[in-house]
Amino acid sequence: MTRYQTGQYFAAAFGRPTPPRAKEDYKVSDTGRPPPNDLGERLAAARARQEARQSGGKSQGPTGLGTGMRIAVDLVAGIAVGVVIGLFLDRWLGTTPWLLVAFFVLGAAAGIRNVFRTASRFEEQARARAAEENGE
């Protein structure tokens, strides 16, 4: 522990010479200018450290409720679009109810396709997170 002497902090204000400091202290910016060589390296190191910290903090998974909601909405949206297209084409072409039936099935398939896509994205994220955690 360093023991400070009385008057150390006031020295500058009263024009008395400050106690000499160790050489490393001057390295930072006492001269008012960036130190000559290693600033770039140190910046890069600090950025890397910050990045590591940030990516470490971000690695919490999505909530179960949110995931379920997303997948349910994906499925229903596909069916809804299929049904709307089917109803519209049926009214237009007078083929009630056959196109509705066909597009309901297609819409359900599209909904499942949506769900599959969303789920595989979650899987990918989970794998990336796992890889990241193992790597560190």
Partner 1 sequence: MAGPLEQFEIHPIMPLSIGNLDISITNSTVYMAAAVAISAGFLAIGAGRAAMVPGRWQNMAELSYEFIANLIKETIGSDGRKYFPIIFTLFMFILFANLLGMIPFSFTVTSQIVVTFAMAAVVFVGVTVLAFAKHGTHFFSFFVPPGSPVWMWPLLIPIEVISYLSRPISLSVRLFANMLAGHTLLKVIAGFVFALNVFGILPLALLVALTGLEILIAFLQAYVFTILTCLYIKDALHLH
What residue ranges bind partner 1 (CB under 8 A)?
62-63, 66, 69-70, 73-74, 76-78, 80-82, 85, 103, 106-107, 109-111, 113-114, 117, 121
CB of 121 to partner 1, least distance (A): 8
CB of 114 to partner 1, least distance (A): 6
Which residue, 100 or 114, is less far from partner 1 as judged by CB? Answer: 114
CB of 130 to partner 1, least distance (A): 17
User: CA geometry: angle at 135 spanning 129 and 136, to 5°?
Assistant: 95
Q: Name the one residue in this structure whose structure tokens are 């890889």.
A: 131
Which residue, 8 or 133, is less far from partner 1 as judged by CB? Answer: 133
Which residue, 5 or 31, is less far from partner 1 as judged by CB? Answer: 31
Token pair of 46, please? 């600090």
Which residue, 23 or 58, is less far from partner 1 as judged by CB? Answer: 58
**Cβ-contact 98, 90 below 8 angstroms:** yes
Alpha-carbon distance of 115 to 108, in angstroms, equals 10
Token pair of 135, please? 């790597």
Closest CA to 107 of 131, 129, 77: 77
